């Protein structure tokens, strides 16, 4: 890895990290921190600072190795649960938080909402095993800027972090088509958001009665939506509907 001189004495910025990292940018002035992704200091481009949060230590080490090979990225803190992740972000003020969706000690969704409200300069990249455009859209709507599937982290995490630091959305190409379907629906596409929700549940094997209970609808309303979905998509069987949902990553394969 090519080493590059940092434009200021590193001792100005480092503090002791409670998880055994080399240090954090806890005492870096906030205006320098916000510039870490795309700003310049005395003509030198500053690195993208990252807090890495995953409860599996082996995976966390692997993810860190992926990021450490890039000179423009510095992992300034690591966390093994949601509580410590939030604490590290508040202290280190990273440009990007890489956050596992399934973390102990709280709700990841609520943590994303809280951090986006309190620290909007920190962008959030979510790691997940749920390969679904619907799940990705929910995370993006909640406040994440990027969604990376864990089995694609080696190929996609660095790009997701770099794009997040620039304020650009990133989702895996695997669910891009499904995400487009969802967003077209929200903008008046072929299927309404409610119909897409019901389509997903049908594809996942829910009966009309179960869907009605889950969505607080009447069975008749669900069956009306079901009939319209098949008509609009020109489908004849549930197997065709499942294939439609799988091809567009509206459900996991």
Q: What is the mean pLDDT of residues 207-220?
A: 92
Examine the domain organization and report whether 145 and 221 are in the same domain.
Answer: no
Residue pair 25/93 in contact (Cβ under 8 Å)? The answer is yes
In a domain, 1, yes or no: no
Task: Give CA separation, 4 vs 70, 124, 134, in Å.
Answer: 11, 26, 41
Number of structural domains the chain divides into? 2
In a domain, 95, yes or no: yes
Given this model, what pLDDT does residue 188 score?
Answer: 54
Examine the domain organization and report whether 77 and 154 are in the same domain.
Answer: yes
| Residue-wise burial string across 53-69, b where 16 or more C-beta atoms lie within 10 A, e elsewhere | bbbeeeebeebbebbee
Of the three residues 141, 172, 203, the one that is the final residue of a domain is 172
Instruction: At 138, list the tokens.
Output: 């929910």
Examine the domain organization and report whether 150 and 198 are in the same domain.
Answer: no
Instruction: Round the average pLDDT of the chain to a whole number and report it.
Output: 81
In a domain, 5, yes or no: no
Examine the domain organization and report whether 200 and 131 are in the same domain.
Answer: no
CATH number at residue 133: 3.40.50.2300
Which H or E run contains 49? strand 48-53
- Compute the distance between CA of residue 163 and CA of residue 158 in angstroms, rounded to an integer: 9
In a domain, 211, yes or no: yes
Examine the domain organization and report whether 24 and 79 are in the same domain.
Answer: yes
Examine the domain organization and report whether 117 and 55 are in the same domain.
Answer: yes
Whole-prediction pTM: 0.65
Examine the domain organization and report whether 119 and 146 are in the same domain.
Answer: yes
In a domain, 179, yes or no: no
Given this model, what pLDDT does residue 181 score?
Answer: 74
In a domain, 4, yes or no: no
Q: What is the mean pLDDT of residues 73-91?
A: 95
Residue ranges making up the domain that contains 213: 190-247
Examine the domain organization and report whether 138 and 225 are in the same domain.
Answer: no
Examine the domain organization and report whether 205 and 161 are in the same domain.
Answer: no
Handedness of CA 13, 15, 18, 20 (dihedral sign): positive
In a domain, 181, yes or no: no
Split at pLDDT 50, 70, 90, the class of 183 is confident
Higher pLDDT, 231 or 184: 231
In a domain, 183, yes or no: no
Given this model, what pLDDT does residue 190 score?
Answer: 79
């Amino acid at each position: 890895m090519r080493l590059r001189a940092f434009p200021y004495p590193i001792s100005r910025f480092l503090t002791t990290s409670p998880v055994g990292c080399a240090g954090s940018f806890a005492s870096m002035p906030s205006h320098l921190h916000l510039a870490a992704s795309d700003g310049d200091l005395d003509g030198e481009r500053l690195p993208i600072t990252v807090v890495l949060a995953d409860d599996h230590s082996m995976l966390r080490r692997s993810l860190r190795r992926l990021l450490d090979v890039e000179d423009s990225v510095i992992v300034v803190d690591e966390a093994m649960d949601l509580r410590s992740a939030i604490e590290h972000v508040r202290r280190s003020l990273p440009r990007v938080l890489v956050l596992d969706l399934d973390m102990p000690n709280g709700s990841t969704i609520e943590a994303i909402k809280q951090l986006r409200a309190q620290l909007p300069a920190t962008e959030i990249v979510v790691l997940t095993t749920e390969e679904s455009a619907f799940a990705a859209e929910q995370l993006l709507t909640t406040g994440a800027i990027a969604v990376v599937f864990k089995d694609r982290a080696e190929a996609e995490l660095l790009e997701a972090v770099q794009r997040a630091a620039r304020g650009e959305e990133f989702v895996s190409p695997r669910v891009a088509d499904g995400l487009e379907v969802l967003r077209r629906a929200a903008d008046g596409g072929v299927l309404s958001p409610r119909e897409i929700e019901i389509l997903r549940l049908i594809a996942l094997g829910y009966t009309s009665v179960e869907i009605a209970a889950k969505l607080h609808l009447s069975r008749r309303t669900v069956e009306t939506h079901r009939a319209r979905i098949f008509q609009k998509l020109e489908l004849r069987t549930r197997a065709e509907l499942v294939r439609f949902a799988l091809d567009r990553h509206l459900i996991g394969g």
